[in-house]
A and B are shown apart, each in its own frame.
Chain A
Amino acid sequence: MNAGRKVKALVMTGFGLNCEAETSHALELAGAEVHRVHLNDLLDGLRSLGEFHLLAFIGGFSFGDHLGAGTVFATRMKHRMKDELDRFIRDGKLIIGLCNGFQTMVKLGLLPGFDGDYFRRSATLAWNDSGVFRDAWVRLVATPGSPCVFTKGIGTIDLPVRHGEGRFMTAGKGVMDRILRENLAALRYADPATGKPTVEFPHNPNGSAAGIAGVCDPTGRIFGMMPHPEAHLFPFNHPQWTRKKIDGSMPGEGEGAAVFRNGVAFARENLL
C-alpha cells in the first residue's frame, strides 16, 4: 500500500450523460480523487485513460439513446478509443458502468467480456417488458461467490432504477448459462418478501431473465448495473427513511455508497 497516494477516478462526461455530480460525490466519499473529463478531451488527447485507476461510465442519455441506449456512445468509443480502453483493462484497472454506462459497456462488448475478448457483443439490454421507462426503488440481492469487486460484502441493497431499456438478454443460452454458472450476474432483482431473485414485475422492473440487474466480467473488475447506487448515498434518499427513523433502523450512510467504497478500496490495495 502506498500511503498518501490517492486512487484516481475518471468520470466521463458529455453528450447527454447526466449523473456526473452524484457519481463524483460517491467516488469522493469512497476516498478517490475524482476527475470529470469530457469525452472530447480524451478523444482530443488532452487527457488520457492511462492517468486513472478507475473509470466510471455514468448514467444519462448519451446521444439521446437514439439507435438504442448507449449504442452511439459505444460506437464512438469502439472506433476512436478502442486501444486505450483495451490497455486500461489489461493493466488490471477497474471499470464501473451505471445504467446508461452499463448499456454502453454491454454494447461495446466489455460485458460479459468472456475469455479476454472485450469487444465482442454477446449481450444486450432490451426494452423493458412494459415498453416504457420506469422510475422505482427495487431490492437487489448480491450473488454469493461472485468475483465482482464492487459487490463484495453486500447482501441486499435497495436502489432506484430509472430506465426504459434494462432487460438483460444474451446471444443464445450458452452465454446466459455461463454468466449464471460463473456467478457473473453479481446483482439480481429480488422479491423483498422472500429475498430471492425474481422475474416478476414490479420487483423486477424490466423482465430481465433470472432477475439480472448487474453483470461483471470473469475478473470481477469490469462491472455494470442498471440500478443507481450513486442515487442512494444519503440515508434519506431511501423511500422508507421516515419509517426507518421511527424504528431506529436508519443507517448513517446510504446503501449505494458501499459499491464505490469496494471499488476504490480494491484499486487502493492493488493498483497504487
Chain B
Amino acid sequence: MIHRLEIGLKKGVRDPRGQRVRDGAGSFLGIGIEEVSTRSVFKIKADIGRAEASKVLSEFIDPVIEEGSLSTLPAEGFDWVVTVGFRPGVTDNVGRSALASVSDVLNRHALEGEAVFTETEYFMKGRLSGDEAREVGTKLIANELIERVSVVPFSEWKRRGPDLDVPEVAEGPPPPVREMDLEVPDAELERISSAGVLSLGLDEMKAIRDHYRTSGKSAARTGRGLAPKPTDVELECIAQTWSEHCKHKIFNAVIDYEDENGKVERIESLFDTYIRRSTKEIGGRKGWLVSVFHDNAGVVRFNDSLNLVYKVETHNSPSALDPYGGAMTGIVGVNRDPFGTGRGAALLINVWGYCLGSPFYKGGLPEGLLHPRRIRDGVHKGVIDGGNQSGIPYGLGWECFDDRFIGKPLVFCGTVGAAPLKINGEPFEKKRAKPGDAIVMVGGRIGKDGIHGATFSSEELRSESPSHAVQIGDPITQKKMTDFLLEARDLGLFTCITDNGAGGLSSSVGEMSRLTGGARIDVGLAPLKYAGLAPWEILLSEAQERMTVGVPPDRIEAFMDLSARRDVESTVIGEFTDSGAFEVLHGGKHVAYLDLEFLHDGLPRMCLKARWNPPSPPDPPGRKGRDLSKALLMLLGRLNICSKEKKSRQYDHEVKGLSAVKPFVGLQCDVPSDAAVFLADYASREGIVLAYGVNPSFSDVDTYRMMASVIDEGIRKVVSVGGDPDRIAGLDNFCWPDPVQSGKTPDGLYKLAQLVRANKALYDFTTAFGVPCISGKDSMKNDSTRGGRKISIPPTVLFSTLGRIEDVSKAVTMDFKKAGDVVYAAGITRDELGGSEYYRMLAEDASRPDAVGSTAPSVDAPSAMKLYAAVHKAIMAGLVRSCHSPAKGGLAAALALAAAGGRLGCEIELDAAPAEGRMETDSILFSESNSRFVLTVAPENAAKFEKTLKGLPIGRLGRVAGARIVIMRGGKRVCEAGVAEAVESFKRTLADV
C-alpha cells in the first residue's frame, strides 16, 4: 500500500527553495518565472492504514509554518507543475530518514521491502512554455542521470488525481555467472574489454588469456568446480585491480624520455624514480615519517601522543556527470581513506579545491557536457552537504578557472585525520590479520551504484560513459558507521580496516588478503539494496559508506553486538586464509579463484615514449603605456584571484572548536588566509598548518617550473602563518590529460614529456626543501571527446602541505594590522611574467590566448630555505604582525590584499624591493616570482627584524598608512587604489554567483 504525504509551506511563509529556482531560472537560463512554490512529497510504501499515515503526516509537518495532506494540497493560479524524484535504485537519503521516523511514530519496525520515496514539486507561475518549464527542470533543478522529471500543465495536474507511482527497482533473479572465452582473435579481445568497460589494453587481455592457458586447468580451480575459462567475476576483478586508477600504470611504466637536445633517457617508473626515491632519501633525515605510500593515506608523527594522517583525492569523472553526487562522494569517500588507514583514524579537517571552466562561459558546449556554472554549483553543494553533515570543518578551499576544464572539472577533496600513536598497545599504523579471522563488511548496502568506477575513471568521458558509475553518498550513514567503528577500535574489536571505494569489495578484500596470503568471501551473504545483482556486480559495486574490517574469532560476537546497538549493519562475508588465492563464492558455490600473485603482480608493464620540445609562447602585446592602477583592480577581480567567499561561507569551518587561523581573515574576515591553522586536540597548543600550491597556468610554459612553483607555494604559505619549515610533509595529486601517444592523442609524446618534467622537478625540489611526499594520487585521462571535439585539461598538480606550529598563539595572519607599521618585501622579484595572471589578462584583451610568455617563475631552493628559516625565526620571536606570500597577481596583488584585509592603506617604494636586474615597473608589480613575502613589523621591532634577516634579500618598502594603496617607483606614483576600491574589485566578481 502506498500513502502519499504532501507537505507545503503555509501562505505567507517564505520559500527559499522556490526562490532559488526562480532566481536561477532568470540569471542562468534567462527564463522569467513570476513565482515558484515548492512542496515535499513522501510516498510511504508500507503495510499501514490511512489513520496511521495520517498520524505520520501530523508528525512530519512543522505546525508553525507547514501544512500537509494525504492526497494533494489545494493550489491556485499556477501554470506548470514540475516534479522531480529519483530514478529506481538511486539512494534516497531523505526517504531513509523518513522511514526511520515512520517506525518511531507508529512504534513498529519497518518490514523488509518497506520504503519511503521522496519527490519535490515545483509549482511555477509565469508566461513560460512547456519546453521552458522542462528546461528549468532538467538544466537547473534535476540531473536526469539520477532523477526523473515530470512536467505537466497546471490544469492537467488539477484534473488528475494524486500520483502514486514509485521508482522501485524491478527485481529479478541474478544473472548467471558467465564463462569468458578469451581464445579469440585480438580484435575480439579488444571488443570484450571495451564493451565491458574493462579498460584493459590488448597486452593485458593477452596476459590474462595466457595465464588461464597455463593455470585454468589447475587442480585448485577444478577442485572448486570452476571451468578452465575465466568467469566474468574473475575477469572483472582482474580488470578492476589492474585499472589505471588502482595500479597507476603510467606512473609505473618504462618511459624513454628524449630531451630538447635529442638525448634519450630510460626511466623505470616515474613513481619509483622520482617520488618514492625522494621520500626515502628525505625520510632518512627526518624522524617523523610513520607510514608512507602503501596504506590508504600517509601518516606522520605530530607530537608525543598523536599521528596525523592525510590524503587528498580527486573525483573528476563522476563530478562531470553528476556534479552534486559525484562531488559529495568525493568528500565522503576521501574521509574513508584516513579512516581506513592503519587501525583507523578519527577525522579532523577537510580541504577542497576545484578546477573549473568559467561560470560566465558563453561559448558552445559539446553535447552531453554540463555548463561550468552548473558544475560549479553542484560540486560546491555536494561537498558542502557531505562535509558539513560529516561534522568535519574545512581548512582550505580554492577554485582555479580555465576553460579547458569544461571537458572535465577537477574536484580535489582531502582529509586530515588524527590517531593515537598506539591502539591497544599496538602501533596505530600496523594492520594485522590471521587466517581464520572474519572478514566483515560494515555500513551501507550494495546496489548497482558506482559499478565500474575504477575502470571508468581511467577513461576519457565518452557519450556512452555509464551512469552507473555515479554514486550518491549518505554522510549520515557513514557518520553512524565511523562513530561505531571508532568505538569498536578503542575496544580492540578489530585488527585491520580498509575502505570500500573504487573497486568495492574486490579492491578492499583483494588488498587486505595480502596480510595473510589469501581470503575467501561469499558475496551471496552481502546485504543488497535490491535483488537481482550478478555476483560480479556485488563484488565490484562502489556503493558508498562501507568499510571492510578483519575481526578475530574471539571478538566477533562483541563486534556484531555493538554494531547492532549502534544501528549499523555489519555482515560476516568470509574469512582470511593462507591459500594464496582470493576466492569468491556465491551461495556457497565458487565463482572466482584468483591467484594473488597474478592478481597483484601479473600486470604487464607499459612501455611509453616521451619527447620534450620546449614551447616558446610569445609575450602578449599591450604592455606599453598600460594604466597600472587600473590593471591592479582588474587583476583583483579576475576569476583566479577574486574572492570566493560567497560559496565558502556555506562550508562549516568551525566545528570541533579547534580552528585558530581560519580560511578567511582580516578585520572583516573576507580575505583568504595563506594557510589554515588548527589545534590537533584540546590538550595542547601545538598546531596543524595546512596550505597548498596549484598553478596549471605555468604548465603552458614548462611543467618543470610549474611543479617547482607549486611545491614552493605550498611550503612558503605554511611558513607565512608561522609553520616550521623543517616539519612539512607534502601530498602530490597529478591530474593530466591522456599522455599516451595514439590516434586520438597525437601529442602524447609531448604530454608525457610534460609529466616526466613535472616528476623531475618533484624530486629536485622536495629533496632540496626536505619536504617528503607522504601520499599522492594520479588521474591520467582528463579529456573529453564528446560532440566530436577533444578538450584536454592543462596539466595540473595540487601540492598540499601539512605543517606544524609549536604554539598556535604565535601564528600570524596576512592582513595589515596597524597604521605606522613598517612594510617589508622579502625574497627576490625576477622578470618572470610567463604564465602570470597579468600576462593572461593582456593575452585575453588582445584575443591572443596563447601569448602567455615564455619565462615562468623559477625556484632557487637553497636561497629560499635560508629565507624561510629566518622568517620563521622572526615570527616565533613575535616580531611580525602580518605575513603574506605573493602568488597570483604578484607583489601588487599581495600588497592590495594585505591592505584589504586590514582595511588599511600603505605607502610603498617599489625600488626598495629586492629585484634581479633592471625590470619594467609592471614586471616588478605583477611578476609571480616564487619564495617571497610581504611582511609588516611594528616600528619598534624593525631593527630586531632586520637583524634576524641579516644577509638575506629584504627591502623596506614603506609603511602602513591611510586608506589608499600608493605604490611609487623612484618617488613617482606608478600604481594606486583606494582600499575600498580594492575590496570592491576583489569581492564583486563572484558576489552573486
Task: State whether A126 and B389 are in contact (beta carbons under 8 Å apart), knowing that A59-B655, A67-B60 are contacts in the complex.
Answer: no
User: Chain B residues with Cβ under 8 A from A135's Cβ?
Assistant: 649-654
Smallest CB-CB separation from A228: which chain B residue? Answer: B654
Interface residues in A6-54 by Cβ distance below 8 A to B read: 13-19, 21-22, 25, 38, 40-41, 44
Smallest CB-CB separation from A232: which chain B residue? Answer: B657
A123 to B62, CA, bound (A): 9
Smallest CB-CB separation from B660: which chain A residue? Answer: A236
Give the A-B contact count at a CB cut-off of 8 A.
Answer: 181
Would A131 and B17 count as touching, CB distance under 8 A?
yes
As a 0/1 sequence over residues 642 to 682 of chain B, the CB contacts with chain A under 8 angstroms (1 = contact) are 00000001111111111110100101010000000001001
A107 to B66, CA, bound (A): 13
Task: State whether A18 and B20 are in contact (beta carbons under 8 Å apart), knowing that A64-B475, A243-B817, A245-B809 are contacts in the complex.
Answer: no
Would B97 and A72 count as touching, CB distance under 8 A?
yes
Segment at the interface with A among B101-109, B456-464, B513-521, B766-774: B101-109
Interface residues in A169-185 by Cβ distance below 8 A to B read: 169-171
User: Chain A residues with Cβ under 8 A from B60's Cβ?
Assistant: 67, 71
Would B97 and A66 count as touching, CB distance under 8 A?
yes
In the complex, A92 has a CB within 8 A of chain B: no
A68 to B59, CA, bound (A): 12
Most chain A CB atoms below 10 A, which of B19, B652, B653, B662: B652
Task: State whether A67 and B650 are in contact (beta carbons under 8 Å apart), knowing that A133-B388, A234-B657, A242-B813 are contacts in the complex.
Answer: no
Q: Choose among A13, A131, A239 the residue that contacts B19 (Cβ–Cβ < 8 A).
A: A131
In the complex, B808 has a CB within 8 A of chain A: yes
In the complex, A122 has a CB within 8 A of chain B: yes
Q: Choose among B14, B390, B659 the residue that contacts A237 (Cβ–Cβ < 8 A).
A: B659
In the complex, A233 has a CB within 8 A of chain B: yes
User: Chain B residues with Cβ under 8 A from A245's Cβ?
Assistant: 809
In the complex, B483 has a CB within 8 A of chain A: yes
In the complex, A61 has a CB within 8 A of chain B: yes
A223 to B684, CA, bound (A): 31
Q: Choose among B20, B62, B100, B818 the residue that contacts A131 (Cβ–Cβ < 8 A).
A: B20
As a 0/1 sequence over residues 103 to 127 of chain A, the CB contacts with chain B under 8 angstroms (1 = contact) are 0000100000000000001111011
As a 0/1 sequence over residues 43 to 73 of chain B, the CB contacts with chain A under 8 angstroms (1 = contact) are 0000000000000000110111100000000
A135 to B664, CA, bound (A): 11
Would A63 and B63 count as touching, CB distance under 8 A?
no
Smallest CB-CB separation from B653: which chain A residue? Answer: A135
Q: Choose among A21, A44, A72 the residue that contacts B565 (Cβ–Cβ < 8 A).
A: A44
Q: Choose among A22, A121, A162, A234 the residue that contacts B63 (Cβ–Cβ < 8 A).
A: A121
Segment at the interface with B among A73-81, A147-155, A209-217, A262-270: A73-81
A131 to B474, CA, bound (A): 22
In the complex, B391 has a CB within 8 A of chain A: yes
Would A63 and B657 count as touching, CB distance under 8 A?
no
As a 0/1 sequence over residues 10 to 24 of chain B, the CB contacts with chain A under 8 angstroms (1 = contact) are 000110110110000
Task: State whether A234 and B476 are in contact (beta carbons under 8 Å apart), knowing that A40-B566, A72-B100, A136-B649 are contacts in the complex.
Answer: no
In the complex, A1 has a CB within 8 A of chain B: no
User: Chain B residues with Cβ under 8 A from A64's Cβ?
Assistant: 93-94, 97, 389, 474-476
Q: Choose among B16, B98, B817 the residue that contacts A242 (Cβ–Cβ < 8 A).
A: B817
Would A14 and B654 count as touching, CB distance under 8 A?
no
Smallest CB-CB separation from B97: which chain A residue? Answer: A66
Give the Cβ gap from B620 to chain A, nearest Cβ, in Å: 39
Give the Cβ gap from B569 to chain A, nearest Cβ, in Å: 14
Would A14 and B812 count as touching, CB distance under 8 A?
no
Task: State whether A76 and B104 are in contact (beta carbons under 8 Å apart), knowing that A18-B390, A170-B64 are contacts in the complex.
Answer: yes
Task: State whether A126 and B657 are in contact (beta carbons under 8 Å apart), knowing that A64-B476, A67-B98 are contacts in the complex.
Answer: no
Task: State whether A239 and B479 are in contact (beta carbons under 8 Å apart), knowing that A76-B104, A80-B104 are contacts in the complex.
Answer: no
In the complex, B480 has a CB within 8 A of chain A: yes
Give the Cβ gap from A154 to chain B, nearest Cβ, in Å: 18
User: Chain B residues with Cβ under 8 A from A97's Cβ?
Assistant: none
Would B391 and A60 count as touching, CB distance under 8 A?
yes
Smallest CB-CB separation from B881: which chain A residue? Answer: A246
Consensus secondary structure, chain A interface: mixed
In the complex, A129 has a CB within 8 A of chain B: yes
User: Chain A residues with Cβ under 8 A from B659's Cβ?
Assistant: 231, 237
Would A162 and B817 count as touching, CB distance under 8 A?
no
Task: State whether A162 and B655 are in contact (beta carbons under 8 Å apart), knowing that A60-B391, A79-B104, A243-B817 are contacts in the complex.
Answer: yes
How many residues on the B side are at the interface (Cβ–Cβ under 8 A)? 62
In the complex, B384 has a CB within 8 A of chain A: yes
Task: State whether A162 and B654 are in contact (beta carbons under 8 Å apart), knowing that A18-B391, A135-B649 are contacts in the complex.
Answer: yes
User: Chain B residues with Cβ under 8 A from A246's Cβ?
Assistant: 817-818, 881
Would B566 and A38 count as touching, CB distance under 8 A?
yes
Task: State whether A171 and B63 are in contact (beta carbons under 8 Å apart), knowing that A162-B652, A243-B817 are contacts in the complex.
Answer: yes
In the complex, B265 has a CB within 8 A of chain A: no
A246 to B660, CA, bound (A): 16
Would B65 and A41 count as touching, CB distance under 8 A?
no
User: Chain A residues with Cβ under 8 A from B20's Cβ?
Assistant: 131
Task: State whether A231 and B655 are in contact (beta carbons under 8 Å apart), knowing that A61-B389, A64-B93 are contacts in the complex.
Answer: yes
Task: State whether A123 and B64 are in contact (beta carbons under 8 Å apart), knowing that A22-B657, A61-B391, A66-B93 are contacts in the complex.
Answer: yes
Give the Cβ gap from A215 to chain B, nearest Cβ, in Å: 13
User: Chain A residues with Cβ under 8 A from B669's Cβ?
Assistant: 136-137, 239
Would B105 and A169 count as touching, CB distance under 8 A?
no
Most chain B CB atoms below 10 A, which of A44, A171, A240, A242: A242
A182 to B447, CA, bound (A): 55
A258 to B920, CA, bound (A): 57
In the complex, B597 has a CB within 8 A of chain A: no
Give the Cβ gap from B668 to chain A, nearest Cβ, in Å: 10
Interface residues in B101-129 by Cβ distance below 8 A to A read: 101, 104-105, 107
Most chain B CB atoms below 10 A, which of A15, A231, A239, A240: A239
User: Chain B residues with Cβ under 8 A from A128's Cβ?
Assistant: 16
Task: State whether A79 and B389 are in contact (beta carbons under 8 Å apart), knowing that A40-B567, A126-B65, A135-B649 are contacts in the complex.
Answer: no
In the complex, A218 has a CB within 8 A of chain B: no
Would B655 and A75 count as touching, CB distance under 8 A?
no
In the complex, A230 has a CB within 8 A of chain B: yes
Would B16 and A127 count as touching, CB distance under 8 A?
yes
In the complex, B811 has a CB within 8 A of chain A: yes
Smallest CB-CB separation from B821: which chain A residue? Answer: A246
Give the Cβ gap from A126 to chain B, nearest Cβ, in Å: 6
Interface residues in B516-546 by Cβ distance below 8 A to A read: none
As a 0/1 sequence over residues 27 to 56 of chain B, the CB contacts with chain A under 8 angstroms (1 = contact) are 000000000000000000000000000000
In the complex, A93 has a CB within 8 A of chain B: no
Give the Cβ gap from B874 to chain A, nearest Cβ, in Å: 15
User: Chain A residues with Cβ under 8 A from B98's Cβ?
Assistant: 66-67, 72
User: Chain A residues with Cβ under 8 A from B96's Cβ?
Assistant: 66
Q: Choose among A59, A63, A131, A232 the residue that contacts B16 (Cβ–Cβ < 8 A).
A: A131
Smallest CB-CB separation from A64: which chain B residue? Answer: B476
Give the Cβ gap from B819 to chain A, nearest Cβ, in Å: 12
Would B682 and A25 count as touching, CB distance under 8 A?
yes
In the complex, A132 has a CB within 8 A of chain B: yes
Give the Cβ gap from B96 to chain A, nearest Cβ, in Å: 8
Smallest CB-CB separation from A40: which chain B residue? Answer: B565
Task: State whether A16 and B809 are in contact (beta carbons under 8 Å apart), knowing that A75-B101, A76-B101, A124-B64 are contacts in the complex.
Answer: no
Most chain A CB atoms below 10 A, which of B60, B656, B657, B682: B657
Would A236 and B808 count as touching, CB distance under 8 A?
yes
Give the Cβ gap from B646 to chain A, nearest Cβ, in Å: 9
Would A75 and B105 count as touching, CB distance under 8 A?
yes
User: Chain B residues with Cβ under 8 A from A38's Cβ?
Assistant: 483, 565-566
Q: Pull 5 A–B residue pairs with CB atoms less than 8 Å apart, ordered by A.
A: A19-B391, A38-B483, A63-B100, A126-B64, A135-B653
Sorted from nearest, which 8 A-B pairs have the closest CB atoms? Answer: A18-B391, A131-B16, A22-B657, A66-B97, A124-B64, A231-B657, A64-B476, A66-B94
Residues of A within 8 A of B (CB): 13-19, 21-22, 25, 38, 40-41, 44, 59-61, 63-68, 71-72, 75-76, 79-80, 107, 121-124, 126-137, 160, 162, 169-171, 228, 230-234, 236-237, 239-243, 245-246
Given contacts A67-B101, A135-B649, A160-B654, 4 further A-B contacts (CB under 8 A): A16-B391, A162-B652, A228-B654, A242-B665
